[in-house]
Amino acid sequence: MSITLLIIRRRKSDRQLAKCEISLGVEWRRISYQELREATNDCSETNIIGSFCSVYEGTLSDGLNVAVKVFNFQPDRVTNRFVKESKILSIIRNRNLARIIGCCSNTEFKALILEYMPNGSLEKWLYSHNYFLDMLKRLDMAIDVALALEYLHHGLKFTVLHCDLKPSNVLLNQDMVGHVGDFGIAKLFSQGESFAPTKTLATIGYMSPGDVPYRDS
């Protein structure tokens, strides 16, 4: 099977699934601060996921495994990121985007409760000697990310620019399906809008930062 046919088949099946997910909708769960403390062993270091010390693996009272993204409470910048990411995650419905389960917010604590991805990030699979992805699986990852971006750019009434797409922000579920996550610095464009001022772009375009040469202009 050629790569072109593989991509076309994946796009058709994913679009059908995306429509089904949108029609079903998702209701947020109400999760208390106390339940999150118990779920993550009070945000224990042993529950930290990957390289980000603010994301913890947890198990809710009903046995559901989740990822808890805690926003260290600081002035407006952190609060704005929490509000923005909550807004984006509440309206996107796509098999290749991180799914939100609920949130917890008070004056001193803010967290998003997300679907747990047992296979970690794409970064781990690309750059660790203990993991391996063959060429076909790498192609699957590329298609997963491309479909996620297509949905963000063209599948909504407005456009979402991720602005920080890199292997550490592509998460893999139990079936090794790629999910784009971390919308903390994403930009939203309303209908007809083609420009939005920004001071934060974590990556140059859509790529892993790697070794990017910088020159004074």
Indicate the pairing of strand 29-30 with strand 100-105: parallel
pLDDT tens digit string along 91-104? Answer: 888 999 999 999 88
Sorted by where each begins, the domain ranges of the chain are 25-115
Q: Judge contact between 40 and 21, C-beta under 8 A.
A: no
Q: For the purposes of burial, counting CB atoms within 10 Å of the CB of 99, is it exposed (0-12), middle (13-18) or buried (19 or more)?
A: middle
d(CA 76, CA 156): 28
pLDDT band (50, 70, 90) for residue 186: confident
How many residues are recorded in the chain? 217
pLDDT tens digit string along 38-67? Answer: 999 998 989 998 665 689 999 999 999 999
The pLDDT > 90 percentage for the chain reads 40
The catalytic site residues sit at 164
CATH assignment, 25-115:
3.30.200.20
The pLDDT > 70 percentage for the chain reads 70
Q: 107: which 2 tokens?
A: 């004056």
Q: Judge contact between 58 and 68, C-beta under 8 A.
A: yes
Only one residue has tokens 């292997």, namely 167
Q: E-assigned strands of the chain? A: 29-30, 55-59, 65-71, 100-105, 110-115, 159-161, 170-172, 178-180, 187-189
d(CA 173, CA 188): 26
pLDDT band (50, 70, 90) for residue 128: confident
The Cβ of residue 115 has, within 10 Å, a number of other Cβ atoms equal to 16
Q: 3-state DSSP call for residue 33?
A: helix
